[in-house]
């Protein structure tokens, strides 16, 4: 689903010097565990392709912390196409600890200065640190303005990463605070989504997950090698077993140091966790488990939920379920199996065209035309049930439907969306912050009026998707029919109660105060005809 974008992914690695040798460490030795970082970042490439970077630590070199980052994919940044260049980079960065990051920007310009990790050099080891995070602060503007009331402070770049930098600098300026104190002081005022990784020149590390657990974060430890990542697939592919991989609980920090080993501590509390449901729908690697729930099995169940709600008469001789590659495949398989009809790849994705939301310049429409090729030998004359993860702006879906008819020669196109309609912006790290860009909003406005947009209390009861509205949407898209899943089906498929999922973009129910405030601003901007991101 090329229209919706996650912000980034993080990793952390540490080989404790006093631990037993780890079979998972590189052959060069435990002092070069940083060599594993690019491999882990490749497993998180689905979360961002704008930039990649690492910071490594070694007590055996004069420059205790080294940061290497640039624009591009992991393979491009680390020159993995050139054995000599890649080896030189890895030799230069060799260390016993590392943090890393892949990025897609929801705020901040697309240049190297915004790539993570961010290193802050200092003559004091405790105050020399580097950090990276996945997420977005909903109260970023408020915190920035408060910080700038101090005339001694300044912002070099207008992004929420710099809020983290200010708070981290303040937290570590005290006389040798422990990392639990640093984490507590840094995050005390934050409202939003973040999974944070931190490494200092004393050789201390922590990884922390926000109190609501919006973004996924997991870790594993085999007695000497500690590793953490946004998704479990990065740890599993290192060689950790599923039983060794644990989710960082919301509001907890895992602290790693040579003196104390690995400790897990609570740094903040919340009345409830609210995991982003889109992680299971689209963002996460299908091989991952998030908070104990398999992404693959969840998507299979989403397809089964679509099948339960199918009312269109099925032409068994000609019916096909076709996924929009790649993240819809599991849902399409689940739907097809439940309906007893074939699932075929009638759309072939050009894997070398890049992810359309990363690149700039060309229109989304032209990118979608380049990215997907219909196969008439599979599709001609067929009744196609086209399965998609979600529809945000609808640009890609319109192109696909047109090409399925003109090139694929499809007889009928019935679009099935394994997600509810997106009707509200997100302020926790997904790149959709305005009502203007959302396909479903105009139809809801037409039927329920502007009063619903002004009153967040009324939206969940007044903005109800009906078969009549779905029919209007289908006509606009150019398909024969359109069906969405209701919010309750998402909770059932994931296996997490609705109260513990963030579904604000489909229910308008924001789980934090700053999220509600941003929503009010977005509504007012929409009614005033103001375009652009609400936080820029």
Q: Catalytic residue positions?
A: 8
> Taking 70 as the threshold, does the pLDDT of residue 82 lie above it?
yes
Q: What is the pLDDT of residue 175?
A: 62
Report residue 368 as tokens.
């979608």
- Same domain, yes or no, for 499 and 385? yes
Q: What is the pLDDT of residue 5?
A: 44
401-412 confidence digits (pLDDT tens): 999 999 999 999
Q: Is residue 158 part of a domain?
A: no
H or E, element range at 386: strand 383-388
Q: Is residue 520 part of a domain?
A: yes
Question: Is residue 492 within 8 Å of 305, Cβ to Cβ?
Answer: yes
* Neighbouring C-beta atoms of residue 129, cutoff 10 Å: 26
Q: What is the pLDDT of residue 535?
A: 46
Q: Is residue 99 part of a domain?
A: yes
Phi, psi of 15 (to 5 degrees): -105, 115
| Residue 151: partners with Cβ closer than 8 Å, 6 or more residues away | none
- Same domain, yes or no, for 216 and 324? no
Q: Is residue 283 part of a domain?
A: no
- Same domain, yes or no, for 256 and 356? no
Q: What does the pLDDT average to over 52-74?
A: 96
SS3 444: helix
> Taking 90 as the threshold, does the pLDDT of residue 137 lie above it?
yes
When mean pLDDT is compared across 240-249, 425-434, 463-472, the lowest value belongs to 425-434
Q: Is residue 155 part of a domain?
A: no
249-272 confidence digits (pLDDT tens): 999 999 999 999 999 999 999 889
- Same domain, yes or no, for 321 and 448? yes
Q: What is the pLDDT of residue 458?
A: 46
Query: Tell me, what CATH number does 247's domain have?
Result: 3.60.20.10
Long-range contacts of 453-460 (CB under 8 A, 24+ apart): 453/523, 453/526, 453/527, 454/523, 454/527, 456/508, 456/510, 456/516, 456/519, 456/520, 456/523, 459/423, 459/424, 459/507, 459/508, 460/507, 460/508, 460/509
> Taking 90 as the threshold, does the pLDDT of residue 389 lie above it?
yes
- Same domain, yes or no, for 260 and 361? no
- Same domain, yes or no, for 241 and 296? no
d(CA 429, CA 379): 37
- Same domain, yes or no, for 497 and 445? yes
Band (278; pLDDT cuts 50, 70, 90) = very high
- Same domain, yes or no, for 313 and 223? no
Query: Tell me, what CATH number does 418's domain have?
Result: 3.40.50.2020
437-479 confidence digits (pLDDT tens): 899 988 988 888 655 544 444 444 467 899 999 999 999 999 9
Q: Is the peptide bond before 101 cis (omega within 30 degrees of 0)?
A: no
Phi, psi of 53 (to 5 degrees): -170, 165
d(CA 400, CA 196): 38
Q: Is residue 163 part of a domain?
A: no
pTM for the model stands at 0.91
Higher local confidence (pLDDT), 336 or 112: 336
- Same domain, yes or no, for 373 and 403? yes
Q: Is the peptide bond before 272 cis (omega within 30 degrees of 0)?
A: no
- Same domain, yes or no, for 295 and 436? yes
Q: 411 is in which domain, residue-wise?
A: 291-527
CA atoms within 13 A on the CB side of 405: 12
Q: What is the pLDDT of residue 110?
A: 64
How many domains are there within the chain?
2
Q: Is residue 264 part of a domain?
A: yes
């Amino acid at each position: 689903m090329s229209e919706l974008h996650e912000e980034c992914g993080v990793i952390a690695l540490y080989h404790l010097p006093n631990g037993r040798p780890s079979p998972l460490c590189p052959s060069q030795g435990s002092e070069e565990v940083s060599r594993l970082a690019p491999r882990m970042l490749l497993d998180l490439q689905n979360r961002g392709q704008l930039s990649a970077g690492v910071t490594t630590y070694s007590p055996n070199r004069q420059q205790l912390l080294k940061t290497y980052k640039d624009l591009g994919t992991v393979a491009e940044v680390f020159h993995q196409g050139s054995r000599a260049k890649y080896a030189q980079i890895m030799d230069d960065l060799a260390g016993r600890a590392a943090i890393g990051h892949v990025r897609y920007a929801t705020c901040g310009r697309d240049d190297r200065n915004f790539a993570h990790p961010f290193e802050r050099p200092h003559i004091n080891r405790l105050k020399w640190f580097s950090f990276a995070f996945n997420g977005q602060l909903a109260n970023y503007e408020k915190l920035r303005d408060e910080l700038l009331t101090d005339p001694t402070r300044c912002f070099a770049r207008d992004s929420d990463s710099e809020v983290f930098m200010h708070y981290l600098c303040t937290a570590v300026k005290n006389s040798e605070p422990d990392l639990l104190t640093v984490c507590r002081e840094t995050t005390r005022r934050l409202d939003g989504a973040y999974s944070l990784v931190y490494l200092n020149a004393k050789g201390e590390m922590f990884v922390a997950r926000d109190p609501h657990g919006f973004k996924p974060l997991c870790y594993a430890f085999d007695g000497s090698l500690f590793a953490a990542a946004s998704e479990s697939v990065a740890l599993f592919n290192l060689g950790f077993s599923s039983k060794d991989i644990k989710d960082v609980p919301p509001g907890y920090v895992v602290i790693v140091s040579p003196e104390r080993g690995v400790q897990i501590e609570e740094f903040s509390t919340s009345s409830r966790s609210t995991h982003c449901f889109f992680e299971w729908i689209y963002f996460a690697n299908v091989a991952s488990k998030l908070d104990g729930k398999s992404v693959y099995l969840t998507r299979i169940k989403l397809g089964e939920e679509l099948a339960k709600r199918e009312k269109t008469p099925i032409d068994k001789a000609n019916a096909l379920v076709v996924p929009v590659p790649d993240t819809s495949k599991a849902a399409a398989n689940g739907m097809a199996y439940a309906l007893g009809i074939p699932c075929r790849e009638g759309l072939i994705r050009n894997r070398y065209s890049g992810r359309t939301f990363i690149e700039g310049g060309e229109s989304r429409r032209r990118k979608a035309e380049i990215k997907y090729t219909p196969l008439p030998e599979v599709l001609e004359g067929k009744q196609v049930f086209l399965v998609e993860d979600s529809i945000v702006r609808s640009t890609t879906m319109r192109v696909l439907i047109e090409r399925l008819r003109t090139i694929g020669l499809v007889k009928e196109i019935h679009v099935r969306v394994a997600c509810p309609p997106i009707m509200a912006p997100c302020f926790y790290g997904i790149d959709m912050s305005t009502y203007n860009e959302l396909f479903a909003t105009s139809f809801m406005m037409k039927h329920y009026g502007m009063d619903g947009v002004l009153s967040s209390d009324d939206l969940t009861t007044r903005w109800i998707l009906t078969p009549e509205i779905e029919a209007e949407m289908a006509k606009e898209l150019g398909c024969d029919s359109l069906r969405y899943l209701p919010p309750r089906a998402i909770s059932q498929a994931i296996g997490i109660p609705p109260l513990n999922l963030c579904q604000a973009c489909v229910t308008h129910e924001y789980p934090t105060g700053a999220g509600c405030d941003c929503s009010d601003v977005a509504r007012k901007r929409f009614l005033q005809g103001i375009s652009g991101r609400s936080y820029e």
